[in-house]
Structure 1
């Protein structure tokens, strides 16, 4: 189009700010700029969702580009095409004229075309004596050349998003296959576990996905399925390892695997006993927590309770229930009947909080094996108090479990810090 000119539409069609902006942008084309028209058209097809145009409108644009005589769009070759609606219909596979007009208006509104109407609204060109076009009236393709970089960028974004969605769907398919085959194997091999419940949970996640899910819904479902797959894998691996563990001739006791996290201890765990004392010597009302019983190989006599407790609790010191509740009052709401009166109530509440915080059963069970059930429930209560400062409760619990195995973790400092935090006189000090 002519530099510095502004064209208004013919007849009753109004002038809009969008048209004015498109014409202003078209006048800023760099001198000598050119681009392959079909390469640009392919980029337009890719960027179509972000440009807000339909595939039928792109068919009309394709027909208009076919009337451009050169292979590259350039101001030197002119940027106005002037076919009649009849010619457009033929190259648009017989599209009706009313439909052509509607899609032309959509292309103009999207800022991809500019009308350059003649005084009488007809499309034609005036030529010089040598046959060169001096002035043409029709549709200017200048916006395509002016927005070429933007169109290619939008096309690259759509392509990248499509590839990302494709990879996400592939991961979802693989995860679904893994879960289905693992559950099938567990049922056929008779592995212990609520596999019917796991399968129902799996089907519930899958069936929530719509026929054409968005990227966000696929990502959310994939996160749930990957967590479920991890829990299934951990549970099955623990059952695979359990039969393979055997007694060591250099040790006097065997390791007995117990996968039940629900312990029956009701009394508060006692403090560490003094050297030389036994469980019978302790005062009434304070008893050792129930522990796994280990026997000497070939002898059949039980290991003393203090030794058993140190195996089950990883050598961690236990604290009175009253102190735990003073440091962690929030756990009380999750106990039976909304209260915690015994250690059994605390462990029941810890199982509920464990699920709420997203801690996997395998992580909780491993913590019980290393630290003992009462200490694990105490740690869960502490984690609940500091839930707003912990990104992954499951990962945090696994880290504490590993530190407890190495003898690098103690519950006392954690409890004392929470006692000071929740103290009613804390705000008056300082």
Structure 2
């Protein structure tokens, strides 16, 4: 016959209102309440962060449940287990005694178990004549039965949050991949558009992403990238629809080869058509001798190292990074938006960015960068301009500067001669 059901812990351990609330919930159990203990334990394990439990405390709870003989926890049966600390430490894979006591307190604070301590703090059970347990002192598992539905709801919420977080990360990855590849395709195909601004917006948006971010932040970032994705897609779709849909494959290949408006071959064709009536298509000697290929990015960066300091993010590794850095340099040089737009239309955005980088490199020798760029734009419209001579002149000036630094007695070239070399092509 039970004499009294204890409500307070033994010794110096204090009693809290939270522990009293757990006991009230346990006492309000329906008489026929039954749950599968390992199913509820899985729900508790998934919702452990919401409950405030730890991995070690759940290892102890697993050990406590293993001391209950049945696979189900029922309010009609005994829900108190009384293993000793030695038995608990053995089933908890040799957990130290101090760690065991600390995490038992965590289980009590989380409302997962209740202490039913004896007068002397020992854990034991007193049986009657028929072998039935009359009084037990130990750990009461009734909160697990009383809160089983709550644990299931918390576990469902955790699973839903994990799924939403995974979906948000997948969406972010797809948006980043699509935007980067569409920008690269737009630049490579010579699609008209302010690709430098688009690249700068993309890098600034992605640059705000921390190493670990909550789901809400990732979703808000996805909304910003979604708007940028729509803008880039519309540019490419508009360009695609403007093309002749019945063009054959060979025509399409020729279009790819000549899609860059600042390429040398297209400049030659435009210059030739302009004078086709007179049958006197002539080219300047410096443009005729230029290589019939694009400038490598490495050569441009070697000739214009100042632009690398303006690159957002992790530096300039691709042409879109170069365009983003040029977009930063444009207002610094005082180049208006209209002058930049005209240059991009006449030269192509990549070549206009190279010209801007060369102007930035010689900004101490150029009084008006905007006027200088407009002058180059007019030459490009007439088919009399290429970025090759500018870059080669900068590289040659760099070599001469290195030689001058090595030989202090050598005279440096005059400023007007250095500026004129922006138009000249090297003999090589």
TM norm structure 2: 0.55
Residue in 2 that maps onto 1:323? none
Could you tell me how far apart the structure 2 residues matched to 1:62 and 1:201 are? Answer: 52
SS in 1 for 2:93: coil
By how many angstroms is 1:137 displaced? 0.6
Instruction: Name which structure has the greater RCO, CA cutoff 8 Å, separation 6+.
Output: 2
What whole-Å deviation, never above 9, does each CA across 1:307-332 have from its counterpart, x for those lacking one? Answer: xxxxxxxxxxxxxxxxxxxxxxxxxx
Residue of structure 2 in register with 1:19 after alignment:
19
**Alpha-carbon distance in 1 for matches of 2:241, 2:208:** 35
Q: Rate the CA distance shift 1:4–1:43 in 2: closer, same or farther, 3 A.
A: farther
Q: Aligned pair 1:39/2:36, yes or no?
A: no
Aligned to 1:242: 242
Map 1:134-153 → 2, pairs under 5 A = 134-153=134-153
In the alignment, is the contact (CA less than 8 A) between 2:31 and 2:76 conserved in 1? no
8 A contact 2:124–2:137 mirrored in 1: yes
Query: What is the CA–CA distance in structure 1 between the aligned matches of 2:72 and 2:81, rounded to whole Å?
Result: 14
8 Å contact from structure 1 (residues 22, 114) kept in 2: yes
- Report deviation, 1:168: 1.5
Using the alignment, how far apart are the partners of 1:59 and 1:3 within structure 2?
33
In 2 relative to 1, CA 194–71 (structure 1 residues): closer, same or farther, beyond 3 Å? same
Partner residue, 1:125? 125
Question: Take 2:120 and 2:77, find their aligned partners in 1: how far apart are those partners?
Answer: 25
The CA deviation at 1:6 is 4.6
| Cα distance in 1, alignment partners of residues 4 and 192 from structure 2 | 81
Residue 155 of structure 1: how far off its partner (Å): 0.9
Q: Which residue of 1 aligns with 2:290?
A: none
The secondary structure found in structure 2 opposite 1:69 is coil
Distance 1:15 1:241, change over 3 A: same
Cα deviations by residue, 1:76-104 (Å, 9 ceiling, x for unpaired): 22000111111111111111111111111
- Per the alignment, residue 102 of structure 2 pairs with 102
Q: Deviation at 1:147? A: 0.7
Task: Give the superposition deviation at 1:3.
Answer: 11
CA distance in 1, matches of 2:96, 2:109: 20
Partner Cα distance (2:70, 2:124) in 1: 18
What is aligned with 1:227?
A: 227
Any gaps of 5 or more consecutive residues in structure 2?
247-337, 339-428
Instruction: Determine if contact 1:4/1:27 at 8 Å carries over to the other structure.
Output: no
CA shift for structure 1 position 193: 2.2
Q: CA deviation at 1:119?
A: 0.8
Give yes or no for contact 1:6–1:23 (8 Å, CA) kept in 2. no
Match of 1:120, SS? coil
Per-residue CA deviations over 1:207-254 (Å, capped at 9, x if unaligned) read 3212221011101110011000000011111222233499xxxxxxxx
Aligned residues of 1:113 and 1:139 also touching (Cα < 8 A): yes
Change (3 A) 1:156 1:3: farther
- Structure 1: unaligned runs, 5 residues or longer: 247-347, 349-430
User: Aligned partners of 2:9 and 2:243: how far apart in 1?
Assistant: 84
Q: Is contact 1:9–1:117 with CA below 8 Å preserved after alignment?
A: yes
C-alpha distance in 1 between matches for 2:71 and 2:161: 30
- In structure 2, what is the Cα distance between the partners aligned to 1:196 and 1:92? 60
Q: Partners of 1:3 and 1:225 in 2: how far apart?
A: 68
1:194 and 2:194 are equivalent in the alignment: yes
**What is the 5 A alignment of 1:282-361?**
none
TM-score by length of 1: 0.55
Question: How far apart, in 1, do the equivalents of 2:169 and 2:6 lie?
Answer: 49
SS in 2 for 1:77: coil
Within 1, Cα distance between the matches of 2:70 and 2:103?
A: 24
How many Å separate the matches in 2 of 1:178 and 1:4?
Answer: 69
CA contact 2:30–2:75 (8 Å) conserved in 1? no
Runs of 4 or more, structure 1, over 3 Å off, are 1-6, 243-246
Number of residues paired by the alignment? 248
